[in-house]
Amino acid sequence: MSVRGQAFCKSSYWDLDVTWYAEWPDFTPCFHTTVLVWTPCVLLWLLTPIEVYLTKASRRQSPVSWTFLGITKVGLCLLLLGLSFAELALSLQRHFQEQLVYSAEFCSTGTKIITFLLVLFLLIKGKRDGKKSSGILLIFWFFLSLCGLFSYRSILHHVFWEDSFWTPPQEFILQMLYFPIVFSELILSGFKESTPSDEGQISEVSEHFTN
């Protein structure tokens, strides 16, 4: 049984013959392109007002300094933004070459671009307001990693076990780079950044023990 969506995607949204009655269960390409991409992004959009409120409520006088951890978080987010723009450029190139590009591909890429821009805004705003970590962003990266894991595993299976692509080779390379970066963001989001006041407290403790 399948739920059809070929006018929007390259396959049906849901197909039990693929997802359940199969030797190697998997989601349909359309499900990978839409639901597994949109769900974490929409979740972040819905939680953003809460994140902004919590940032204002816990606002400190001193901003968070630009540490290696903070620079790495922003840098990886910029890389994800760059990969999304590259994916959009490849889709537009195929479209102008009169190749079939489904609307779901443009929608998913646009959703990622908007979401990563939002993440950049929240990261920079949090640093300016002295927020050391973000539980909302941690939740977002967790669900994005979880959903991305299913797609990452599916692509590897199709390439190395079935010897077939359901994405163009250039997009395959982008997707192979995408998941490790997302997972790295998840790991980094579990660490707190330091503030000048924290460094001052460490100095005071050091002086207390040395004097």
Tell me the pairing of strands 14-15 and 2-3: antiparallel
**What's the chain's length in residues?**
211
User: Lowest-confidence range among 15-29, 64-78, 180-194?
Assistant: 15-29
71-100: average pLDDT = 92
Query: What is the dihedral sign for C-alpha 167, 31, 181, 106?
Result: positive
State the pLDDT at residue 49: 94
| Residue 25 main-chain phi, psi, to 5 deg | -60, 140
18-30: average pLDDT = 72
What confidence tier does 156 reach under pLDDT thresholds 50, 70, 90? Answer: confident
State the pLDDT at residue 209: 31
State the pLDDT at residue 133: 81
Q: Would you state the structure tokens that stand for residue 182, as one six-digit string?
A: 């997302």
The larger pLDDT score, comparing residue 123 to residue 130, is at 123
